[in-house]
Chain A
Amino acid sequence: SQTIHQWPATLVQPVGSPLSLECTVEGTSNPNLYWYRQAAGRGLQLLFYSVGIGQISSEVPQNLSASRPQDRQFILSSKKLLLSDSGFYLCAWSINSPLHFGNGTRLTVT
């Protein structure tokens, strides 16, 4: 069966520090991969999605970037965090829908 791993579960980082969140999927090949953010009152906002290795689509201009170095690995990064980057970050995968989410990372930028 397919599983998705996302880490860390919680993270507290100072403003201006870098960020790296990692997500891996097991039990499937060539999935579509997604990064979402849930901010207070904003619902689930799609940040990036990828249909294959090295193929990244950005939905919202921002301080973040994403990379897919391997088929089942999706990384969310930032060179310098802003206070507004705080939120709950969710990785998800799909093959022909629906989306399957990881347990999320609670990021607090201080």
Chain B
Amino acid sequence: DQQVKQNSPSLSVQEGRISILNCDYTNSMFDYFLWYKKYPAEGPTFLISISSIKDKNEDGRFTVFLNKSAKHLSLHIVPSQPGDSAVYFCAASRRDDKIIFGKGTRLHILP
């Protein structure tokens, strides 16, 4: 039973354009959502998070949008840079409970 779903295994985006990574969840009790970035042979690093009381959180080039009615969140990266090429994991949790991850989306930034 996959509670956090990232339906696109990979995504290719031209450098300088916007990258949009999508994530869906099934558990309506989730109230905290996170995005992690992972390079090969390294551990994931925390990127940005959003609480269920908000619908948008922005940090520099990264913005996360949350649509609670659709149980959907997305990560926007603009402008996309070569160093953004990595695997991005969406994650969700209930506050103070374990964090559940999606399968990840591999982002390729094309020159």
Q: Which residues of B contact A74 (CB under 8 A)?
A: none
Given contacts A43-B103, A49-B98, A97-B34, contact A104 B41 (CB under 8 A): yes
- Residues of chain B whose beta carbon lies under 8 Å from any beta carbon of chain A: 6, 32, 34, 36, 41-46, 49, 89, 91, 93, 95-96, 98-104
13 contacts between A and B (CB under 8 A): A6-B43, A41-B103, A43-B6, A43-B89, A44-B44, A44-B104, A46-B99, A90-B43, A97-B49, A99-B91, A99-B99, A102-B43, A104-B41
In the complex, residue of chain A having the shortest beta-carbon distance to the beta carbon of B102: A43
Nearest CB on B from A80, distance (A): 27
In the complex, A94→B89 CA distance in Å? 17
Q: Which residues of A contact B104 (CB under 8 A)?
A: 43-44
Q: Which residues of A contact B101 (CB under 8 A)?
A: 36, 43-46
